[in-house]
Structure 1
Amino acid sequence: MKWLLVLLVSYLLGSVPTAYVVARYLKGFDIRRRGSGNIGATNAFRTMGTGPGLAVLAVDVLKGTIPVLLGRAVGGDWLAVLAGLAAMAGHNWSVFLSFHGGRGVATAAGVFLGLAPAALFWAFLLWLLVLLATRYVSLSSVVAAASAPVLLLLLHGPLPYFLFTLVAAAIIIYRHKPNIKRLLAGREPKIGERS
């Protein structure tokens, strides 16, 4: 019963649509109708600027980290991983937005932060290098997500964490399908360009 309660709380926490709330109640618009239409941190930066973008990013990361800490406290590594996945599911398929949501990158990073901060450091470094080289946030996110299982293996992370990285990478890449299509067609906006 405790496990189910942790998973439910984690999903609901992940479901909080941070960018939507900030845009609606602080800026007076629906972020789903601006920029890329996504409710993630990248579109928050694009449509609201640095301050609100950083606030959205920070909260979306915490939406991943808090469930991991809660899950670990109640049930150890396996529940920590499941709670992290529940939070990601909430962010991607929010109950508050008719089961629509973001791409899950920041929330997955928050989960990764709670599970394996050293691996997150290297994934972030790779994300940053790809971003500096290409100016594509989506490409950077997909590459960083795909690198996570490899990083866990190289750092000898425990099995539950490795399995998390496989599932999280698959979700993130799947959620980036529209971006990948635009990248292949040469129509994906770069940092500083309008979508």
Structure 2
Amino acid sequence: MSIVFYFCAMPVTVYLLPIAAYLLGAIPTAVWLSKYVYGKDVREHGSKNAGATNTFRVLGKQAGIMVLIADILKGTLAASLSLMVAEQFNADDLMLYKLALGFTATMGHIYSIFIRFKGGKGVATFTGMLYFIFPLAAITCTAFFLIVFIFSHYISLSSMSSALLFPIAAILFYQLDDMRVMLLLGLIPLIVLYTHRSNMLRLARGEESKMYLYKRKSG
């Protein structure tokens, strides 16, 4: 019964913030920017994915960077909503609540109510959440992402590789021992792998598109 009383004693804001986090994450940055600013829907071009990577391919660096920053900020802002009710939690539960808000925002990004539940792949929004909660581990994984990308030129492979590294980095850097937190962290690579399942097939077939930060010289 103590658990029931614990949750009943929480202010209603604690239960409303996940809804706000979902709606924040569900903002389809790539779709709205491409349609209403550039006059071209990214879902009809390239990989047809409503995310930053496809925006880079379809609309170029400027649009891609804007979408990437916005999608990262969605995760950061969602997790930061926890500060509004931080006094309601102990340290372990607050970390869990931050993760819950970030996960909810990422699910909003992947399954956006604004575009018929077909959104992006969640990597940027996850990244924003992780920079807010576990900055050292997030920086490490960003560096690893860049290393993999420099050598492979595959955004998808870089994303999946850094996602697999993150739970390990977070546990080691922050000496985590809360099983609930570790289980949630373990879900991150699983979700990223799931949203990249088509990319994995293309990688296996040698059909995945590469991306370059600079224009390759012809000849």
Q: In 2 relative to 1, CA 157–107 (structure 1 residues): closer, same or farther, beyond 3 Å? A: farther
User: Taking structure 1 as the reference length, what is the TM-score of the superposition?
Assistant: 0.94
Greater radius of gyration (CA):
2
Shift of 1:72: 3.9
Shift of 1:191: 0.6
How many aligned residue pairs are there?
A: 193
Shift of 1:132: 0.6
Q: Which runs of 5+ in 1 are unaligned?
A: none
Runs of 4+ in 1 over 2 A off after TM superposition: 156-165
Name the structure 1 match of 2:169: 151
Q: How does 1:27-38 map to 2 (within 5 A)?
A: 27-38=38-49
Shift of 1:153: 1.8
2:19 to 2, 8, 17: 8
Q: How does 1:12-161 map to 2 (within 5 A)?
A: 12-75=23-86, 76-158=94-176, 159=178, 161=181
Q: Superposition RMSD on alpha carbons, in Å?
A: 1.5
Name the structure 1 match of 2:211: 191
The answer to whether the 8 A contact 1:130-1:140 is kept is yes
Q: In 2 relative to 1, CA 163–115 (structure 1 residues): closer, same or farther, beyond 3 Å? A: farther
Shift of 1:73: 3.4
- Residue 156 of structure 1 aligns with an amino acid whose one-letter code is Y
User: Taking structure 2 as the reference length, what is the TM-score of the superposition?
Assistant: 0.84
Alpha-carbon distance between aligned partners in 2 of 1:164 and 1:24, rounded to the nearest angstrom: 35
1:116-175 deviation digits (Å, cap 9, x = unpaired) = 111001000110010011110000000000101110122135435533321121111100
The answer to whether the 8 A contact 1:152-1:161 is kept is no
Alpha-carbon distance between aligned partners in 1 of 2:208 and 2:65, rounded to the nearest angstrom: 22
- Residue 60 of structure 1 aligns with an amino acid whose one-letter code is D
> Once the two structures are aligned, what percentage of the paired residues are identical?
35
